[in-house]
């Protein structure tokens, strides 16, 4: 970057700077001695052309071609916006997780992980759920064969035990089950809590857990399910949509990650393994819908 000269008026200097932008010459102005403003050109390749334009401008600054430089303000704004969005996009997942190393995951993420691990040990690694934590399940009674009756919730919930809408998320049935969910909760929950706050994560957890558990009970037809997977899929959907439609948010998922999780979701519906498929799907719909709606309001 080199200076090509000075202009004695800030207004004139800005006018000429805008004119150079219209000509495709990247530049900037800085205060010089007394009232003079220095004109700096970023690329040496543009020095000769910019110097010629400066001589022409000094000879007749009121020339119509320079007056048209007012259009450059919109061009500058567009360039600055594009540059800002690019800088925000390069805050990749690795950059975000580097912050976690310094600050750790957020308090809510840590509490959810700790509570899930505590319940896992309390239930003898998921082997004694019914005897140790029946109060955390959606219901301890066999679900009604009538789907419309199940829409009203379990007998316990209808009698006031509304915490059962949420607490199945803390119950895990195997070591693989809890490891899978806790790793994803740490990554996705930590990402959302770090970038958008504990309140946003709390809202996502409460809404997605309630809807995904309710969907599993109503459509799946059994109260014997548990795990953080519905919340995890909600966080996946939320981060996916935010990263896709609002890259400046800093939330980001690789396409391969999304593809893998969607394949796993589809695999669950083969019923080869006992998986709470409707909780997964319900969580994904909630999170993706929430994330997409948030980008439309931005």
pTM, 2 dp: 0.67
Distance, C-alpha 262 to centroid of its chain: 18
Query: What order of strands is seen across the sheet that includes strand 27-31?
Result: 2-7, 37-41, 27-31
Buried b (16+ CB within 10 A) or exposed e, 159-176: eebeebbbbbbbbbbeee
Q: How far is CA 240 from the centre of its chain?
A: 7
The CA distance from 291 to 34, in Å, is 53
Looking at the chain, the domain(s) classified CATH 3.30.70.2350 span 2-82
pLDDT, position 179: 97
Catalytic residue selected from 17, 154, 177, 280? 280
At residue 3, the 3 state secondary structure works out as strand
Q: Give, rounded to a whole angstrom, the gap between the first and last alpha carbons of the chain.
A: 37
- Tell me how far apart the alpha carbons of residues 269 and 97 are, in angstroms, rounded to a whole number: 32
Domain 2-82 has CATH 1.10.260.40: no
Please confirm, yes or no, whether 177 is among the known catalytic residues: no
Q: Given this model, what pLDDT does residue 103 score? A: 39
In the chain, residues under CATH classification 1.20.1540.10 are: 93-297
Answer yes or no: 229 catalytic: yes
Q: What is the pLDDT of residue 282?
A: 97
Nearest 5 degrees, angle CA 168-CA 159-CA 165?
20
d(CA 233, CA 152): 24
Per-residue pLDDT of the chain (298 residues; tens, 9 = 90+): 899 999 988 888 988 988 898 888 988 999 887 788 999 999 989 999 999 999 999 999 888 888 766 565 666 666 666 666 665 555 545 555 454 444 358 999 999 999 999 999 999 999 999 999 999 999 999 999 999 999 999 999 999 999 999 999 999 999 999 999 999 999 999 999 999 999 999 999 999 999 999 999 999 999 999 999 999 999 999 999 999 999 888 898 999 999 999 999 999 999 898 899 999 999 999 999 999 999 987 5
116, 139, 208, 229: the active-site residue: 229
Q: Which one, of 216, 207, 252, 267, lies nearest residue 89 by Cα?
A: 252
Q: How far is CA 48 from CA 17, 52, 141, 217, in A?
A: 15, 6, 85, 74
Phi-psi region of 108 (alpha: psi -120 to 50; beta: other; left: phi over 0): alpha
Helix (H, G, I), strand (E, B) or coil at 28: strand
Longest dimension (CA), the chain: 92
What is 93-297's CATH superfamily?
A: Rhomboid-like (1.20.1540.10)
């Amino acid at each position: 970057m080199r200076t090509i000269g000075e202009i004695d008026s800030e207004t004139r200097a800005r006018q000429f700077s805008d004119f150079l932008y219209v000509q495709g010459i990247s530049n900037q102005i800085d205060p010089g001695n007394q009232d003079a403003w220095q004109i700096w050109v970023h690329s040496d390749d543009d020095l000769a052309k910019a110097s010629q334009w400066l001589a022409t401008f000094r000879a007749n600054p009121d020339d119509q071609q320079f007056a048209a430089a007012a259009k450059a303000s919109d061009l500058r704004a567009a360039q600055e916006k594009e540059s800002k969005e690019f800088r925000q996009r390069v805050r990749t997942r690795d950059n975000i997780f580097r912050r976690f190393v310094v600050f750790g995951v957020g308090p809510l993420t840590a509490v959810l992980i700790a509570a899930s691990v505590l319940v896992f040990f309390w239930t003898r690694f998921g082997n004694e759920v019914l005897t140790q934590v029946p109060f955390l399940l959606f219901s301890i009674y066999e679900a009604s064969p009538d789907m419309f009756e199940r829409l009203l919730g379990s007998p316990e919930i209808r009698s006031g035990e509304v915490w059962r809408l949420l607490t199945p998320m803390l119950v895990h049935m195997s070591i693989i089950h809890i490891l899978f969910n806790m790793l994803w909760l740490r990554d996705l929950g930590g990402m959302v809590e770090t970038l958008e706050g504990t309140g946003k994560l709390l809202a996502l957890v409460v809404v997605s857990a309630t809807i995904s558990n309710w969907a599993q009970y109503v459509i799946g037809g059994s109260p014997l399910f548990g795990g953080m997977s519905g919340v995890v899929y909600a966080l996946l959907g939320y981060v996916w949509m935010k990263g896709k439609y609002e890259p400046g948010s800093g939330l980001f998922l690789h396409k391969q990650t999304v593809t893998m999780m969607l394949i796993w979701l589809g695999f669950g519906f083969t019923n080869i393994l006992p998986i709470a498929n409707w909780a997964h799907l319900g969580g994904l719909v909630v999170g993706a819908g929430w994330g997409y709606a948030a980008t439309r309001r931005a």
